[in-house]
Amino acid sequence: PKKSGGSRKETVKVPALDGFDNVPVIEINVSEGDEVEADDALVTVESDKATMEIPSPYAGKIGKVLVSEGDKISEGLDLVEMTIVEEGGDEGEEDASSEASESSGKEKQEGEPESKGKPSEPKPEQSSATYEPPAPGAKVHAGPAVRKLAREFGADLTRIRGSGPKSRILKDDVQAYVKSQLQQTQQGSTVAGGGGAGIPGVKLPDFSQFGEIERESMSRMMFATANNMQRSWLNVPHVTQFEDADITDMEDFRKAQKAAGEKKGVKMTPLPFLLKACATALAELPQFNVSLDMDRKEVIRKQFIHIGIAVDTPHGLMVPVIKDVDKKGLWELAAESADLAQKARDKQLKPAEMQGACFTITSLGGIGGTAFTPIVNTPEVAILGVSKAAMKPVWDGKDFQPRLMLPLSLSYDHRAVNGADAARFTSVLSQLLGDIRSLLL
């Protein structure tokens, strides 16, 4: 097969930004003449909840940087011009290639119209691609890795219009198709006024007829949180189980660690004990450490324990995730949770630091309240609400003793978890927090 070399110019466009538009650029990470590898950061932007880096899809040399600090960018906007060294190769070769070489295969495919001298076959822009079923019996052109990706997404290749040579389907086409389908679904289920899914929307009256009003745009974060809460509430059959845990001894032990904490520069709060107790309960009752795939009628059982902690910030609710809680000690958890909470308040969390949770803890104990019914952070199947601890008289068999009781509210997805298991879960938490020595077992 004939090999072609040389180089080509490519304009890198802004990829999907979780559906958000007009995201401000806070840092330019490259300058003209820089050599970059694939996945090196080009620019840093600030989305609704976090700062994130936009990676380079290619290895090559930076030409012009087409955006400036402070610019607001949206998906599809030109970001940088790059020079990419061609690898060459022909179409048949890619079909037989292994999935591991798909990334270089993609570059070959995209370079083919030029290397084969067919400038009359322009590459259609991804954003303008339309997705329609071809004529019956039409052949689908796609490499093995693209077919594998389509299988993983459950995407029908016959409905995807390829942007490669001879309408060949590339990975980008599959991803763009799946994204467009998801957006259509979301738009259908979150129409203005909260309608969708057969639920009538709420028509607002003209409030100005009752008195003076002021309109203010929702922040991106508020809008995203509102959508997530509504989606969870409409899709998940919620039940909440309540329990009081006796934390008298735990609090005595925690307060006794004050001097040790000052030495380490770490403040020991009740949260590390709650994290540890939840991790133990998740290991003991693994039906809480799952997600449901209702489309495929499958239960996804997770072999890791990552726990989200809901943090109230001036910008809204954020949920950083502590990974492998079961493998960490109390001091490590105290330091990490304090660090992530501060990052959340400063809007410094990276997307990876907010992903992968199996379970969430949301604590309003510092503010007050006796109990509440938290909304499950789907696709997780349970969330623990923690309210304000209070001294209560507890009967010990002979007398009432003053004990510090912590109210726990466990909301769960009744499709995945039944009531008896939820009662077992809060009972295990209560025992673990009641005698923290059991966390060592």
Instruction: Give alpha helix (H) positions in 8-101.
Output: 91-96
Q: Are 188 and 111 in contact (CB under 8 A)?
A: no
Beta strands 307-309 and 321-322, pairing class: antiparallel
For tokens 């998940």, what's the residue? 236
- What distance in Å separates the CA atoms of residue 106 and residue 68, rounded to the nearest whole number? 29
Q: Alpha-carbon distance 124 to 199, whole Å?
A: 39
State the catalytic residues: 414
Whole-angstrom Cα distance, residue 432 to residue 352?
A: 30
Residue 417 near residue 432 (C-beta atoms within 8 A): no
d(CA 113, CA 91): 11
CB atoms < 10 A from the CB of 374, how many?
A: 20
Nearest to 172 by CA among 75, 34, 47: 75
Q: How many helices and strands (H and E) does the chain possess?
A: 10, 19
Whole-number Å distance between alpha carbons of 291 and 301: 7
411's CB contacts (< 8 A; 6+ apart) are 238, 239, 240, 241, 373, 374, 375, 376, 382, 383, 385
Indicate the burial class of 431 (C-beta count within 10 angstroms; 0-12, 13-18, 19 or more).
middle
Q: How far apart are CA 89 and CA 97, in angstroms?
A: 11
Instruction: Give me the amino acid identity at 199.
Output: I
Neighbours of 137 (CB within 10 A): 5
Amino acid at 362: T
Provide the pairing of β-strand 72-73 with 23-28: antiparallel
